[in-house]
């Protein structure tokens, strides 16, 4: 009886697993969208106290992100943002913003 029940349960579990969709590649919102709140998705800041990132040197952007991360360049929001992304994301974001026209 119990054996049958658990066999039935594992069948249900197996069919649920088959029905499940593959996990999305990026569960959280893309990091570029988080940066866009201040820097603009086009790399042009809407606020006067935020620097434009569009067309800036890629290596410069990456180095700034590392500096914010380590605290070498002190800034509360950017320290938090730079720590919330991986090094690979920092690299990709630097390349992305550097590639944008100004
Ligand atoms: C809450 C607003 C805010 C968000 C969100 C934000 N930034 Fe910034 N960012 C700033 C401000 C303000 C500065 C200028 C810091 C300073 O005065 O030293 C800055 C500076 C920078 C710089 C240095 C630019 C330069 O010319 O030296 C880079 C690179 C940068 N941000 C990248 C990012 C990236 C990548 C993200 C997303 C992961 C991001 N920022 C998210 C506000 C923000």
- Convert the pLDDT of each residue in 48-62 to its tens digit: 999 999 999 999 999
Residue 51 in contact with ligand 1 by CB distance below 6 A = yes
Q: Is the CB of 64 under 6 A from ligand 1?
A: yes
**Residues 6 or more apart from 72 whose CB is under 8 A from it?**
66
Contact 49, 75 (CB under 8 A): no
pLDDT class for 90, splitting at 50, 70, 90? very high
Q: Are 52 and 99 in contact (CB under 8 A)?
A: no
pLDDT of residue 27: 46
Question: Rounded distance, CA 49 to CA 64, Å?
Answer: 16
CB of 49 closer than 6 A to ligand 1? yes
Cα separation, 89 vs 34, in Å, equals 12
CA of 100 to the centre of ligand 1 (A): 16
75: Cβ below 6 Å to ligand 1?
Answer: yes
């Amino acid at each position: 009886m119990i054996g049958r029940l658990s066999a039935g349960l594992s069948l249900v579990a197996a069919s649920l697993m088959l029905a499940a969709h593959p996990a999305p590649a990026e569960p959280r919102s893309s990091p570029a969208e988080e940066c866009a709140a201040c820097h603009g998705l086009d790399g042009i800041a809407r606020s006067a106290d935020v620097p434009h990132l569009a067309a800036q040197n890629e290596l410069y952007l990456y180095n700034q992100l590392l500096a914010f991360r380590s605290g070498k360049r002190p800034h509360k929001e950017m320290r938090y943002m730079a720590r919330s992304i991986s090094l690979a994301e920092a690299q990709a974001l630097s390349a992305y913003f550097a590639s944008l026209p100004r």
